[in-house]
Amino acid sequence: MGSSSKYVRSASDRRVPPSPGLSSSSSWSSASSNGLYTPSTSTYYHSHIIPLPPVTPYLSPVELAQLDTPKAAAYAPAKSAHLVVHPCLARGHSVLSWDMIKEPYGLPLPPNILAESATQPPVPRLTVTIGSGYPWRVDIEPRTSSYITVADVLHSIYRNLRSIVGSAEWDHPSTPAELKVRASAAYHDRRRRCPDPDPRKAGIRRIDYLGDMRAFRGLEPCKSTGHVKGQPDAATLQLSLGRAS
């Protein structure tokens, strides 16, 4: 008789912290229909309940919903507590080996990754700035969804770099002479290695301004806030460059 009484528990006694061996898992969230991300969180209700004798009644739905469950781990932001760059694009984490003179279509990224949001939280507008004296910025807008995807970023950067430099841009007084020398050398080198069959497209392109520093080394939020002032739904990222092999 005395032994059975020790199994009498209140509802609050049935809730226990997660087992030390239990680790939460997460993945870069998938976009919902409203353009927001819902992190995928695995629920381990049974891992949070100490086995009780059969006489113990089952937990009610309300009690079950009150159990503490693992939360999805957030990716550590780079330079900003408000904006996180997708792991395959982030500086220091990117697995891409991309010489940006080449099209991004051959990169080893599956379609589901390309369709994921480029940032967390997702943004409907994005600006990428490029170092090494590059005088243009890359303004990105979504092509197929309400937010900027990984594919949007890669294709927009490539298209921007492929743009032919007009005479007004080339002769602009703010263009340093050493930048023109570097661009001219890169242009002749590019023409030797991959000549353009259409002579009308044989001019200097924006990517020539990078010289041989045209390897993609990842994106990070700008050091200020990572957001465009006055536009909380827009963001500015800085593209890091490396020497192309």
**pLDDT in the model for residue 242:** 94
pLDDT at 26 over 70: no
Q: Which residue has the higher pLDDT, 183 or 60?
A: 183
pLDDT-based confidence at 38, cuts 50/70/90? very low
pLDDT digits (tens, 9 = 90+) for 173-192: 998 999 999 999 999 998 88
DSSP E strand stretches across 49-187:
84-85, 119-120, 125-130, 137-140
Confidence band for 28, pLDDT divided at 50, 70 and 90: low
- Report CA dihedral (209, 211, 216, 222) to the nearest 10 degrees: -50
Give the pLDDT score at 53: 39
Structure confidence at residue 73 (pLDDT): 33
pLDDT at 93: 75
Torsion sign across C-alpha atoms 192, 198, 199, 200: negative
The pLDDT value recorded for residue 86 is 96
**pLDDT tens digits for range 189-219:** 988 887 666 666 678 999 999 999 999 999 9
Q: How confident is the model at residue 123 (pLDDT cuts 50, 70, 90)?
A: very high
8 Å CB contact between 98 and 219: no
Given a cut of 70, whether residue 107 has pLDDT beyond it is yes
Is the backbone peptide bond immediately before 121 cis, with ω within 30 degrees of 0? yes
Own/partner contacts of 154-157, CB < 8 Å, gap of 24 or more, are 154/98, 154/104, 154/107, 154/114, 155/104, 156/128, 157/100, 157/104, 157/128, 157/216, 157/239
pTM to 2 decimal places: 0.65
Strands 84-85 and 137-140: unpaired
For position 92, what pLDDT does the model report?
Answer: 87
Provide the pLDDT confidence category of residue 234 given band limits of 50, 70 and 90.
low
User: How large is the average pLDDT for residues 136-161?
Assistant: 96
Calpha distance 7→117 (Å, rounded): 50
Instruction: Round to whole Å and give the CA distance between 44 and 217.
Output: 38
